[in-house]
Amino acid sequence: MVRRISISLRMTMWFGCIFFAGWLAFGSAMWFSLKHTLTNERYQTLSRRINRLEDLLNRNSKESHADKAQDFSDFANATGNGLSEVFYANGTRAFPSPSLSARSFPWPSISSSTSEQFLHLRSSGQGYWVLVRPFTAQGQSLFVLAAAPSAGSELLLQRFLSGLLASVPIVLLIASCGGYFISRKALQPVGQIITAAHSISIRNLSERLPISNTGDELQRLAETCNEMFGRLEGSVNQIKQFTADASHELRGPLSFTRTVAEVALRNPGVDRDSQQAFSDIVEEVAKASVVLNDLLTLARADAERFDMVVAPVNLSELVQESYERALPIARERQHILSISVRSEAQHQILGDFDSLRRLIWIFLDNAMKYTLAGGTIKIGLEDVNGCSAITIADNGLGIPEEDIPYIFDRFFRADPSRSLVDGSGLGLAIAKWIADMHRATLNISSTINVGTTVRVAFPEVSDLRISGI
């Protein structure tokens, strides 16, 4: 099963990744910029040193070679810790090395074709920048070399990089929190639309989603959903009206057909085959009448055109009456029917007596239909957490677990073994509607070949208000 990730989480992740990528790009650009600045600064320093050394050698052109060597040594030790050299084009030193460090330093090779170079070398585990520049003094081609350590620049770059890496958790935290806040803020109207859409059902299709006058995609989404609900409301109303009208109009022809068939059955001159045919007609018309009555009941319920007489109802008396009504049928089908009414309370609720009697009978009738001969059916009434609960349990065929969420759908029939029993598939839908009207909690648990238990729990009288009346 694919695990779904919410849009809010995805937006948070995307925002965090983009923010982190931007921070990484900015940090990298700053690091390279700092490195370039430090390198250029070191080049400028060495270049100025070589320029001053060239001026010194050209200015003292009349001095002896020893004096020039002394001037070069003094200048080199004064400006660059002695890390300077002057070479001829053949690679030999023009003057003695001004210091031991200059003598042991790994200067780059010099040839007549060498042009100005700016190199990075390592000596004794340390880095150095070296600038090589050719120049001419008194007609001689010379090369001036100057070096400077790069440890300070490397340390600064290392600290800058360490600071960038150390700030990664902080940046990720800020990016995640910022992304989550922005995504929640942006998707808040979506949550409102979802909540409103969940509250709209077939019973209140006239309700609409709230629309914020923002002019964005969410406003267009809400408007589109409202247009869709409008179309659905029109279609559902047409279906409801058609079902109600068809059920009502068909009752007349069916009643007439049944009456004619019953009159024909009472005619002594009818042969046996015709009697059987008329008997079949009466039986099928009776079944069709039941279906039509159920359809008409549900159509009226959908259209909220139903008549209920709300009054105090004694559930103890109602359960006892239902038990006595079902007892002859249970005996005929060889069922063991028992009743259990616990507590001395009167179990008074506020409701419609006829509808509640129909509710109990639907479940009792189903229990008798789907329980084999010799099975047991129990009807009970008890107090559960201050509520009156009617329980009907059997040890019949049971209902598959995957079918339980759909058993209250209209015309739904379970597996073929249950479909062999006559029924319209509307009884449980009517029972669910009656329970909802009385704000009762309806719960069904079932196991194949073990049995089914139905529990209908009614709220206290002080909490009960019949919906839609």
Domain termination site, one of 110, 144, 166: 166
Among 306, 336, 355, give the residue marking a domain's end.
306
Domain harbouring 60, CATH code: 3.30.450.20
Is residue 113 domain-shared with residue 150, that is, in the same domain? yes
**Do 43 and 162 reside in the same domain of the chain?**
yes
Q: Are residues 282 and 414 in the same domain?
A: no
Higher pLDDT: 345 or 309? It is 309
Domain identity same for 410 and 434: yes
pLDDT at 203 (0 to 100): 66
Residue 252 lies in a domain: yes
Residue 186 lies in a domain: no
Residue 211 lies in a domain: yes
For residue 295, what is the domain's CATH number?
1.10.287.130
For residues 51 and 147, membership in a common domain is answered with yes
Range of the domain at 280: 202-306
| pLDDT value for 464 | 46
Q: Are residues 13 and 161 in the same domain?
A: yes
Any domain includes 197? no
Whether residues 317 and 420 share a domain: the answer is yes
Return the pLDDT at 79.
82
* Residues 258 and 339 grouped into a single domain: no
Mean pLDDT of 109-135: 87
Q: Are residues 362 and 275 in the same domain?
A: no
| Tens digit of each residue's pLDDT (9 = 90 or more) over 451-461 | 999 999 988 66
Looking at the fold, whether 143 and 276 belong to one and the same domain comes out as: no
Q: Is residue 196 part of a domain?
A: no
pLDDT band at 415; cut points 50, 70, 90: low
Q: Which pLDDT value is given to residue 324?
A: 92
Least confident of 29-43, 139-153, 157-171, 195-209: 195-209
Say whether both 316 and 299 belong to one domain. Answer: no
- Residue 174 forms part of a structural domain: no
Confidence of residue 468 (pLDDT cuts 50, 70, 90): very low
As given in the structure block, the two tokens for residue 300 are: 């009226």
**The pTM is what?**
0.50
Domain for residue 173, yes or no?
A: no
Clarify whether residues 157 and 132 are in a common domain: yes
- Looking at the 3D structure of the chain, how many domains does it have? 3
Would you say residue 462 has pLDDT above 50? no
The answer to whether residue 301 is domain-embedded is yes
Alpha carbons within 13 A on the beta-carbon side of 6? 9
**Does residue 124 have a pLDDT over 90?**
no
Residue-level pLDDT at 1 = 44
Q: What is the pLDDT of residue 463?
A: 47
